[in-house]
Structure 1
Amino acid sequence: MARAALGWTVRDLAEATGLHRNTITNIEVGRYAGEPETLDLIRRVFSREGIIFIEENGGGAGVRLRKATQR
């Protein structure tokens, strides 16, 4: 969902993180859970790009795109 909110392809995320496209795809489809360091890297990249992670609150975990700030 974070990738979709940014309009990123798997290739975009791979370039931003330095991970292989297959690693990202395997994590997304559930074939690979991902190492904690890998998941942290992905989360940090998304956070830097404006994604806010919403913890489980009874309605399920999710993501939101931070509102653009006015200059």
Structure 2
Amino acid sequence: MINSKSHDDNEITGAQIRAARALLRWSAKELAKAAAIGVATVSRAEVEDGVTSLTSANLKAIQQALEAAGIEFIPENGGGAGVRFKR
């Protein structure tokens, strides 16, 4: 299986995942359940501050779960990537 992992400027980072989970006061287990992935996958995503080594499907599942819970991801646009609650 080939893992073609190219960096996408809109791809969320491990630091953003950690921050989003903290805003929601979710445990890694709660995020894993919401994203229908394993807790180890969440931990792997959060280890790096930058781009994660996750598959795009797992990263998308995490992003969708956090967005469904009210998180908005802020892209790197000169001011630095971040997260906040949706209005």
**TM-score scaled to structure 2, two decimals?**
0.70
How far apart are residue 48 of structure 1 and its match? 0.7
Identify the match of residue 26 of structure 1 among 39, 44, 60.
Answer: 44
After superposition, what is the alpha-carbon deviation per residue over 1:13-36, rounded to whole angstroms, capped at 9, x for unaligned? 011112111111011003x61001
Residue 10 in structure 1 maps to residue 36 in structure 2: no
Which structure would you say has the larger Rg? 1
CA distance in 1, matches of 2:85, 2:76: 17
CA distance in 2, matches of 1:22, 1:38: 12
Residue 60 in structure 1 maps to residue 80 in structure 2: yes
After superposition, what is the alpha-carbon deviation per residue over 1:7-58, rounded to whole angstroms, capped at 9, x for unaligned? 000010011112111111011003x610011111111111111101111111
RMSD: 1.2
Q: Is the 8 A contact 2:73 2:83 kept in 1?
A: yes
How far apart are residue 2 of structure 1 and its match? 0.5
Q: What SS does the aligned partner of 1:42 have? A: helix
Q: Is the 8 A contact 2:36 2:61 kept in 1?
A: no
Q: How does 1:32-43 map to 2 (within 5 A)?
A: 33-43=53-63
Q: Which one has more relative contact order, counting CA pairs under 8 Å at least 6 apart?
A: 2
Aligned length: 66
Q: What SS does the aligned partner of 1:41 have? A: helix
